[in-house]
Structure 1
Amino acid sequence: MSEHIFDRVRQAPGVVLDRPTYHADSDREQDKLDGGVIWKLERSQVFNEVGDAAWDAFVAGDWPRVMEIFESEREAIGEEIRANTEQGLEFRRLRVVEHPPTPYLQWESHSHRIFVECGHQIRALDAATVAPLETRAVLPELMVYGDRALYQVRYDGAWTPVGAKRVDDPELVSQTAEAIAGLWQESEPFLDYFHREIAERPIPKIT
């Protein structure tokens, strides 16, 4: 794995898309795939999930409502996984984690637990593992659709999602997928991380 692949992604030319356009564009790319793997790499420990009901409940300090919303999503998650399976797709989500976990990461981890219990493939990777790759900047937030396209997800200063940069260079797309796959091999099942680092922690609060 090249130590510079993620720097190349950041520097690569691409088409900058606003958030609605990015989601529509990536949906079309997923529909075009004939099997294969979709990769999601999550690195930041803080995001601002504006418009998400469970996030709004978290910000309001209503943890029971957060968990009620997360639990209510099981059926939809299962349907999404079944649709992916019928298309021959595997969605693999790699979550880089720092210690101690931020309130955001704790909140997200309870959602991820439910996703995993429904059959979603998620693994956790200690941030120390990727430190050698972050001499210039932390890893970018990425979505990679087979060998067709990758998106570097973009955020504003408050870590609110604002869209993505689409990169179509076939070689760079392929090499990025290989790099994430290499990190995946160094990671651990998300539920192992969850039960060790998250489950027994007090209910998180945003300060």
Structure 2
Amino acid sequence: MPDLYAPPLDRARGERLSWADYSADFWQRYAQIYERDSWKFERRQHFVEQKSPSRAALGRGDWDGALRLLEDRRESLRKAAEQDQRQRTVFHRVRVTEQPLTPYLQWELHSLRMKAEYDEIIRVIDAAHVSALEIDGLLPEVVVLGGQTLYEVVYTDAGVPDGGIRFTEPDLVRGWEDFIRTLFEGGEDIASYFEREVAPLPPPQLITE
């Protein structure tokens, strides 16, 4: 993989948003994208997704229920994919993984494989590819929308959503898009990764939160 450079994110140069404001701002801007692609970089190995029934089932130890509830999302994923096609936009995602997979990540990879069936283009990289950049801590969770807006998605130490920080400086946005694109080009497609590393796994152990 080529030499990597992740531009530093000085939070003081961005605008701090609550979770509700971040979500509203994200979807408003996403709806305005036309013929531009978006990129997401996911690094953490555990999140608490509070509005996901499937994720809640995982937290209760109901693995079969969690997978069944993921299947219930297919219609909404199909509609989202059709909207992206109308906007001529593609959402790319780079997912960092560590072995052994956490229960959360095992569940999320099922979700991501399904998203890839409809709309997103998703690739997986091993954490070793970014370890040299993490001497002072994990890289942030980042989304670049349409080449114009950069969000650092903020979580508590426990993985609970805690809003976002919006940046619009062109050089910073372009730098992170280039960084994620480089990782993406060296990553493995979610389909082949899933079949080799996820499909053979037994149900994960109960998550206690």
Same fold (TM over 0.5): yes
1:50: which partner in 2?
50
Between the aligned partners of 1:124 and 1:10, the Cα distance in structure 2 is 27
Supply the AA of the counterpart residue of 2:46. V
TM-aligned CA distance change 1:156 to 1:32, over 3 Å:
same
Between the aligned partners of 1:38 and 1:12, the Cα distance in structure 2 is 24
Please show how residues 98-177 of structure 1 align to structure 2 within 5 Å.
98-177=98-177
2:64 counterpart of 1:60: no
2:39: which partner in 1?
39
The Cα shift of 1:56 comes to: 1.0
TM-aligned CA distance change 1:12 to 1:5, over 3 Å:
farther
Between the aligned partners of 1:66 and 1:82, the Cα distance in structure 2 is 25
The Cα shift of 1:12 comes to: 5.8
Give the secondary structure class of the aligned counterpart of 2:152: strand
Supply the AA of the counterpart residue of 1:5. A
Structure 1 unaligned segments of length 5 or more: list them.
none
Between the aligned partners of 2:168 and 2:128, the Cα distance in structure 1 is 30
2:80 counterpart of 1:80: yes
Structure 1 moving runs of 4+ over 3 Å: 1-4
Tell me the percent identity: 36
Between the aligned partners of 1:12 and 1:128, the Cα distance in structure 2 is 29
2:191: which partner in 1?
191
Supply the AA of the counterpart residue of 2:39. W
The Cα shift of 1:83 comes to: 0.4
Between the aligned partners of 1:30 and 1:115, the Cα distance in structure 2 is 17
Structure 2 unaligned segments of length 5 or more: list them.
none
Between the aligned partners of 1:4 and 1:111, the Cα distance in structure 2 is 29
The Cα shift of 1:157 comes to: 2.1
Give the secondary structure class of the aligned counterpart of 1:39: strand
Between the aligned partners of 1:14 and 1:92, the Cα distance in structure 2 is 23
TM-score by length of 1: 0.94
Given that 2:122 and 2:189 are in contact with CA atoms closer than 8 Å, whether structure 1 keeps it comes out as yes
Give the secondary structure class of the aligned counterpart of 1:89: coil
- Count of residues in correspondence between the two structures: 206
1:5: which partner in 2?
6
Deviations 1:18-73 (A, max 9, x none): 00100111112112222211111100001111231011111111112111111111
TM-aligned CA distance change 1:2 to 1:18, over 3 Å:
farther
Supply the AA of the counterpart residue of 1:161. P
Between the aligned partners of 2:38 and 2:173, the Cα distance in structure 1 is 11
Question: Please, which moves more after superposition, 140-149 or 13-22?
Answer: 140-149
Given that 1:156 and 1:162 are in contact with CA atoms closer than 8 Å, whether structure 2 keeps it comes out as yes
The Cα shift of 1:88 comes to: 1.0
Deviations 1:92-143 (A, max 9, x none): 1110011111111001111112112234211111111111222222111011
Between the aligned partners of 2:10 and 2:54, the Cα distance in structure 1 is 31
Deviations 1:128-172 (A, max 9, x none): 111122222211101101221100000112110110010111111
TM-score by length of 2: 0.93
